[in-house]
Amino acid sequence: MATIKANGTINGHELKDIEVVNPGDWFGKTWLIEIGGSYSSHYLVIEADSMSDAIDELADSEKHGHHIVVEDEYLGDYVEDSRHYGPSGQVLDLDHIMIHGQEGSDTPFPCMYHGDGLPSEGVKPTEFCWDEIES
């Protein structure tokens, strides 16, 4: 399966080659996830119905879930009464995560998808379809 990347703009800054976690999974309703805690942030684009659903998608991602899922050996550092849980019961650390997008819109974070088999100018997430990717 081809890797799909996204290009978009946030606060006047152009972002390029952001990995899309689940392209085509939610009708192009994209959210920009910013994972901080260092000198520079790590960005991901996730398709989901809402911000909450975007967190769930990230938590269940085999490749990227480690950014927010707390490892078993560190569970003692998270007070049980104030824990956040993922869709599969994982304990989540959401202290260094921001979600960008406009609630109630068809494309909360406007961007263009790029990748092998897609037109050079890219496609809007709402128009993306795995079946139409050129081989």
Please tell me the distance from the alpha carbon of residue 10 to that of residue 2, in angstroms, as a whole number. 25
State the burial class of residue 100 (Cβ atoms within 10 Å of its Cβ: 0-12, 13-18, 19+): middle
Average pLDDT over residues 103-121: 90
SS3 7: strand
Contact 100, 32 (CB under 8 A): yes
| Confidence (pLDDT) at 3 | 87
| Confidence (pLDDT) at 134 | 53
- pLDDT band (50, 70, 90) for residue 55: very high
Average pLDDT over residues 47-61: 95
Residue 16 in this model has a pLDDT that exceeds 90: yes
Helix (H) or strand (E) holding 9: strand 5-10
Average pLDDT over residues 30-50: 90
SS3 113: strand
| Confidence (pLDDT) at 51 | 94
Please tell me the distance from the alpha carbon of residue 30 to that of residue 111, in angstroms, as a whole number. 8
Give the N- to C-terminal CA distance of the chain in Å, as an integer.
11
SS3 43: strand
Residue 7 in this model has a pLDDT that exceeds 60: yes
Domain ranges of the chain: 5-132
| Confidence (pLDDT) at 105 | 84
- pLDDT band (50, 70, 90) for residue 37: low
Helix extents (H) in 36-94: 51-60
Supply the pTM of this predicted model: 0.89
Question: What is the chain's mean pLDDT, rounded?
Answer: 90
Contact 101, 45 (CB under 8 A): no
Average pLDDT over residues 69-77: 91
| Confidence (pLDDT) at 15 | 93
Amino acid occupying residue 10: I
